């Protein structure tokens, strides 16, 4: 679903959202990218840097170390030397099970994709050589849903604290 349709579904007009006009870097969602293919860093950065704060890591270990509670989504290359993207996903999910993970891979195999989806529950599985808009749409949805989940959780926690204080 294109992001405009998603905005309509949520009842939000993207042109009226203040974070769309000239967002401050601190207001942009933080996205962690784990991909050892440095040749993709610049095009990926150009594609995403206006909408997101990016942290880009060249290895699985660096990616896991760079993950913070502020991370709203993770884009992971599935095939890397050393630990693979599935390992990164599993390690991050131990820390934050709800963070959306998007597998971004040059290798697509139907059987492999089916097994990956069942085993690791990625938010999306996007082909590196496919449509860049698909990655943008998946990332936009992932960050919105995750931020909404976090806002809801904070509201619930605040209400629970107030309720306990009132007792």
Q: 107: helix, coil or strand?
A: coil
Phi, psi of 73 (to 5 degrees): -165, 155
Q: Give the C-alpha separation, 55 to 127, whole Å.
A: 20
CATH number assigned to the domain with residue range 3-166, chosen from the 4 options 3.30.300.130, 3.40.50.2300, 3.40.630.20, 3.40.50.720: 3.40.50.2300
CA separation for the pair 147, 2 (Å, rounded)? 19
What does the DSSP 8-state code read for residue 97?
A: T
Parallel, antiparallel, or unpaired for β 101-105 and 124-127? parallel
pLDDT of amino acid 162: 92
Q: Which of 94, 97, 60, 54 lies closest to 77, judged by CA? A: 60
Residue whose C-alpha is closest to residue 107's, from 89, 130, 136: 130
Could you say which residues of the chain have pLDDT below 70?
Answer: 1-26, 107-113, 116
Q: Which tokens hold the place of 106?
A: 């040059």
- CA atoms of 105 and 77, how far apart (whole Å): 5
Helix (H) or strand (E) holding 144: helix 132-166
pLDDT of residue 109: 58
Radius of gyration of the chain (CA): 17
DSSP summary character for residue 29: P
State the pTM of this model.
0.75
Cα gap 54→57, rounded to integer Å:
10
Ranges of each domain in the chain: 3-166
């Amino acid at each position: 679903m294109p992001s405009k349709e998603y905005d309509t579904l949520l009842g939000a007009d993207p042109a009226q959202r203040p974070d769309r006009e000239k967002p401050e870097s601190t207001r942009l969602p933080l996205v962690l990218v784990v991909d050892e293919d440095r040749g993709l860093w610049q095009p990926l950065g150009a594609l995403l840097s206006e909408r997101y704060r990016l942290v880009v890591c060249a290895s699985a270990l660096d990616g896991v170390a760079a993950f913070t509670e502020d991370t709203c989504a993770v884009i992971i290359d599935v095939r890397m030397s050393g630990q693979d993207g599935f390992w990164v996903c599993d390690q991050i999910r131990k820390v934050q099970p709800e963070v959306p993970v998007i597998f971004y891979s040059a290798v697509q195999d139907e059987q492999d994709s089916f097994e990956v989806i069942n085993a690791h529950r990625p938010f999306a599985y996007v082909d590196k050589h496919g449509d860049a808009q698909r990655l943008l749409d998946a990332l936009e949805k992932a960050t919105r849903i995750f931020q909404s989940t976090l806002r809801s959780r904070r509201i619930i926690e605040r209400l629970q604290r107030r309720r306990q204080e009132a007792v």
